[in-house]
Amino acid sequence: MANKGVRWMAAKMGKGLVVGMLACVATLAYSEDSQASLLLSEEAQLEIINTLALQIEQRSSDPQVGKRIAAHLSKQYQSYKYLGFDQPADFAAKLTQDVQAVLQDPSIVVSANEPDLSHAVAATTASNQITFVNDEIALIELDLHSTQTQIDTLFSQVADAEVFVFDLRHSRSPQNADSDVLLYTASYLFEQPTELYRIDKVGKKKADIITTLKRVAGKKRAHVPVYVLTSEQTGVVAERFVSALQHLKRAYVVGEPTAGQVDIYEQVSLHHKLKVTLPVGKFVLHNGVNPQQSQTLGLQPDLLVTSFLAFQETQPLATQSAIEYRVLQGRGTPQETFSQNKAQINYSAWRFFGNDCALEYRISEPMYNANTKKYQFAYQLRYYGHGSAKMRYTLGNGIEQMTQQANFADKTDIKSAITIGFKSFEAIKMKSCGVV
């Protein structure tokens, strides 16, 4: 009985091994058939070539372009230059090389038509990163997949910022990306509708004029100083945005030259899961310049620095811009107002101190410092003695006073300064003076 049971189990196991082996063979055969189905036959290659030439001809302002491409690729095909390029990605790369050799246009690219899910994923996770520096500079890493609502939220979060620094150093978007995000962002930066740029499309007599919106959901910030950080990765939509702001003198650009990819492209499906990226429109600034066709490919920054140092170089400039902005808004401290408006300050008439002190002085009206809740006075000193001198002087009123020193080179040397804070706005005068 035992031997019979063993023989029965062995038979069962043998059948299982056979079934398993057959399944493996079937799987391998299916895998090989699937792989073979992805390979391009010579007929498929010819079909792709004809479709590619037709698409280029239809989207070119010169009808001869398509014919030149068709003739060149057909010659390559008949000369067996595509023999062995039966993998879609390999054939796409070879076609790209041949097309670019004829047209001298690196923007035309043939590629395997793999689905691009990056936009769909990013659309659900769009996040604009904001870093505040000294409570006055908003460093904004702009997400190109933001919605208008997210841009509105962004500007509400930076409502108190006195300088915007847009970080677009890592903002190379797809060639067919939507410009709406940065158009809406730019609309916050201009009070009135302003032409940003134009798109001259193939086959259209009139250009598409891209203009900022008259209204946005939040408060416009048309007078806030703007800086933009760039790198060689700043391309397509982001590059158009930077180019327009720089051209309109609305932003100061710091970093590296941009990617040189501002023209408009369209991705067209070819046969057998291939696609081609073709230019369908020229980006043109208000002055008629197309940066992509300039001698220096890509936008040239106002301050050229390596990209990883861009914000470090921008920060002192942005800090100064914040001071200027506060002063223009009437919110500057006396020191800031004095530093920005030295030439515009109204002083009293020159007065002599007397008592053998060769100094004359004049003083402005008091300026209130909201931060310290004190008053400060701008003043000027002039030495009328002979040669140079080092003088010590005291300015004050009936309540407080301050003592300072100044070196004078000669009679033409006028010193401008501002006092410490006084509790009272009572006028001050020189109380003592002498040579050190």
Residues 339, 350: Cα–Cα separation, whole Å: 21
Q: Are residues 166 and 84 in the same domain?
A: no
- Inside any domain, residue 269: no
Q: Are residues 124 and 173 in the same domain?
A: yes
CATH code, domain carrying 380? 2.60.40
Count the residues in the chain. 436
Other beta carbons less than 10 A from residue 298's beta carbon:
21
- What are 309's two structure tokens? 């140092």
- CA angle (103 as vertex; 97, 108 as ends), nearest 5: 60
Q: Are residues 240 and 139 in the same domain?
A: yes
CATH code, domain carrying 154? 3.90.226.10
- Inside any domain, residue 291: no
Is the entire prediction scored with pTM above 0.85? no
Print pLDDT tens along the chain (436 aa): 445 544 544 454 454 544 455 444 444 444 444 455 578 999 999 999 999 988 888 877 677 888 888 899 999 999 999 999 999 999 999 999 999 999 887 778 999 876 554 444 444 445 789 999 999 999 999 888 889 999 999 999 999 999 999 999 987 665 555 678 889 999 999 999 999 999 888 777 888 899 999 999 999 999 999 999 999 999 888 999 999 999 999 999 999 999 888 888 888 888 888 999 888 888 888 766 666 555 456 889 999 999 999 999 999 999 999 999 999 888 888 888 888 887 788 999 999 988 788 999 999 999 988 888 899 999 999 998 888 999 999 999 989 999 999 999 998 999 999 999 999 999 999 999 999 8
Considering 105, 130, 148, which residue would you say is the last residue of a domain?
105
- Write out the residue range of the structural domain in which residue 64 sits: 42-105
Q: Which residues of 55-72 are buried (b: 16+ CB within 10 A; e: fewer)?
A: bbbebbeeeebbebbbeb
Domain count, the chain: 4
